[in-house]
Structure 1
Amino acid sequence: MYQIDIMTLFDETVGDMMNESILGRAQERDILRIEAHQIRDYTLNKQKQVDNYPYGGGHGAVMQADPLYQCWKHITDTYGPGHTIYLSPAGVTFTEQHAKRLLHDYDHLILVCGHYEGIDERFIEECVDEEISIGDFVLTGGELPAMVVADAVARLVPGVLSDPECFEEESHWNGLLEYPQYSRPEEWHGRKVPPILLSGHHANIARWRRKEAIRRTRARRPDLYEKLDLSSKADQKLLREIEQEDLTEKDASLQTP
């Protein structure tokens, strides 16, 4: 069973979110376990204080090392060692590849949610294995990033989703953004589902989806597009078709009064 423990000041909120829907059902089947731990429960301070003024001065407060350590120690003493991640804007930017690595290399993650001006560096030095960021921006706390990382990893655990295709065809799995998706009805507000998706011809549908994924990646994420290996004959043919379709669309737009 894959296990994720989240150290937080908002254990009820995090716990509720992580126990709903797909992840909740996976935990009921003992495929996965996600538990939120209240850091305040591990401080000796009667006021349950977990932060104090930073040495050297400055605004705000810093989460103290010892409550964090005592919470972390309870987790490791109870459930065994885990790979400890501090969610921090100073960390490495999280990607689908990181999610795959965390699933493959570890069966127990401990996610640490910071607050205020951050956490005491000494806890990071002693207990944290890596720091992860979910983007180049700052949030008021680490709970949202922790839930993002937990969800991204947990959904890859075998058995959580009904079939590997549920994530293998989605954006970022193989470097491509996902192709457009459609559902019932066939026409909505005058917009029709592409006819090929109604054809029942699975090979042609797969080819169309591949082409649209390439087209979308090139338009929206040129940084990802540059890294793609599109050297196969099939992909080269798709690229030629995309170029021709783009030219046709451009000519049509120029001719429109």
Structure 2
Amino acid sequence: MQIDILTLFPEMISGVFNSSILKKAHEKGKYQYNLVNFRDYTTNKHQKVDDYPYGGGAGMVLTPQPVFDAVESVTRQNSTKPRIVLMCPQGEPYSQSKAEDLAKEEHLIIICGHYEGYDERIREHLVTDEISIGDYVLTGGELGAMVVVDSVVRLLPDVLGNESSAPEDSFSTGLLEHPQYTRPADFRGMKVPDILLSGDHAKIAAWRKKESLRRTYQRRSDLLEQFDLTEEDQRMLEDIKREP
């Protein structure tokens, strides 16, 4: 996968790409990235990439020319048709299913905005996707772009050491993840559930499923509205609801 990020502040992003899983995945050749400062593409003699909005109002708006030219430049360097993602508070709320969708692509271009917003022609005629990582205000799209890249890259084949890690993460199944424990079995009197020490894999799997349902019901019950419950899931959930 090739990932190009258009940003006015590439220094905000480089540290994240040189750490942890993103660094290891890049070293293994699972993806390539390019941080593009679209200010380098402006034709404005003062190197400006923004201007006052037509009709008046507060703030500055990113002009279309440098963004269009930057996207066209990186697109010419790749033979595949890219998905062009606009980080935008008006965009689709980001989700695990969206990450899984983007992880199927060969080329992503992510545009990070600043200031008051984008010229509408960028939104209408250039991008394929608009994404928001939440209903709150950030200084720019870089933080959102890093979230998107991290969530996508970890889904690429052979990026994670354990092949079952990504599918078992919270939200990957549609539910929150079950509780996890490790050694020691007894820490200051706080003990690991006996069933996890039993060696009975079928019972452990059933316990984990029920605890995943319990945690989702208690913390994010809205997720259950979209989850396709089996008859066994429904029985477990009814048991949970009857508990004091």
Same fold by TM (over 0.5)? yes
Which residue number corresponds to residue 52 of structure 1? Answer: 51
Are the equivalent residues in 2 in contact too, given 1:61–1:116 (CA < 8 A)? yes
TM-aligned CA deviation for residue 241 of structure 1: 4.2
What are the ranges of 5 or more consecutive residues in structure 1 without an aligned counterpart?
251-257
TM-aligned CA deviation for residue 236 of structure 1: 4.4
Which residue number corresponds to residue 242 of structure 1? Answer: 240
Determine helix, strand or coil for the equivalent of 1:160. coil
What are the ranges of 5 or more consecutive residues in structure 2 without an aligned counterpart?
none
Which residue number corresponds to residue 253 of structure 1? Answer: none
Q: Does 1:97 align with 2:97?
A: yes
TM-aligned CA deviation for residue 12 of structure 1: 2.2
- Cα distance in 2 for partners of 1:236, 1:122 equals 48
- Cα distance in 1 for partners of 2:179, 2:146 equals 26
Are the equivalent residues in 2 in contact too, given 1:15–1:35 (CA < 8 A)? no
TM-aligned CA deviation for residue 54 of structure 1: 1.1
Quick one: which amino acid aligns to residue 107 of structure 2? Answer: H
TM-aligned CA deviation for residue 58 of structure 1: 0.9
Matched positions, count: 243
Quick one: structure 1 residues 189 and 61, their matched pair in 2 at CA, closer, same or farther if it must change by over 3 Å?
A: farther
- Cα distance in 2 for partners of 1:202, 1:84 equals 44
Quick one: which amino acid aligns to residue 160 of structure 1? Answer: V
Deviates more, 1:190-199 or 1:90-99: 190-199
Alignment of 1:79-228 (within 5 A): 79-80=78-79, 81-104=81-104, 106-228=105-227
Quick one: structure 1 residues 186 and 46, their matched pair in 2 at CA, closer, same or farther if it must change by over 3 Å?
A: farther
- Cα distance in 2 for partners of 1:172, 1:37 equals 31
TM-aligned CA deviation for residue 231 of structure 1: 3.0
Are the equivalent residues in 1 in contact too, given 2:25–2:153 (CA < 8 A)? no
TM-aligned CA deviation for residue 226 of structure 1: 2.5
- Cα distance in 2 for partners of 1:127, 1:240 equals 48
Quick one: which amino acid aligns to residue 30 of structure 1? Answer: G
Q: Taking structure 1 as the reference length, what is the TM-score of the superposition?
A: 0.88
Quick one: structure 1 residues 205 and 63, their matched pair in 2 at CA, closer, same or farther if it must change by over 3 Å?
A: same
Determine helix, strand or coil for the equivalent of 2:117. coil
TM-aligned CA deviation for residue 115 of structure 1: 0.6
Quick one: which amino acid aligns to residue 238 of structure 1? Answer: M
Q: What is the alpha-carbon root mean square deviation over aligned residues?
A: 1.8
TM-aligned CA deviation for residue 176 of structure 1: 0.8
Are the equivalent residues in 2 in contact too, given 1:82–1:109 (CA < 8 A)? yes
Which residue number corresponds to residue 11 of structure 2? Answer: 12
Deviates more, 1:67-76 or 1:108-117: 67-76
TM-aligned CA deviation for residue 216 of structure 1: 0.7
Q: Which runs of 4+ in 1 moved over 3 A?
A: 187-190
Are the equivalent residues in 2 in contact too, given 1:63–1:116 (CA < 8 A)? yes
Percent identity between matched residues is 48
Structure label with greater radius of gyration: 1
- Cα distance in 2 for partners of 1:16, 1:239 equals 43
Quick one: structure 1 residues 189 and 63, their matched pair in 2 at CA, closer, same or farther if it must change by over 3 Å?
A: farther
Residues 41-91 of structure 1, C-alpha deviation per residue, up to 9 Å, x if partnerless?
112334432111111111111111111112111111112431101010101
Q: Taking structure 2 as the reference length, what is the TM-score of the superposition?
A: 0.92
Residues 137-187 of structure 1, C-alpha deviation per residue, up to 9 Å, x if partnerless?
221110111111111111111111123311111111121111111223333
Residues 186-223 of structure 1, C-alpha deviation per residue, up to 9 Å, x if partnerless?
33454222222222222221111111000111111111
TM-aligned CA deviation for residue 243 of structure 1: 4.4
Quick one: which amino acid aligns to residue 239 of structure 1? Answer: L
TM-aligned CA deviation for residue 7 of structure 1: 0.5
- Give the structure with the higher percent helix: 1
TM-aligned CA deviation for residue 13 of structure 1: 2.2
- Cα distance in 1 for partners of 2:63, 2:53 equals 10
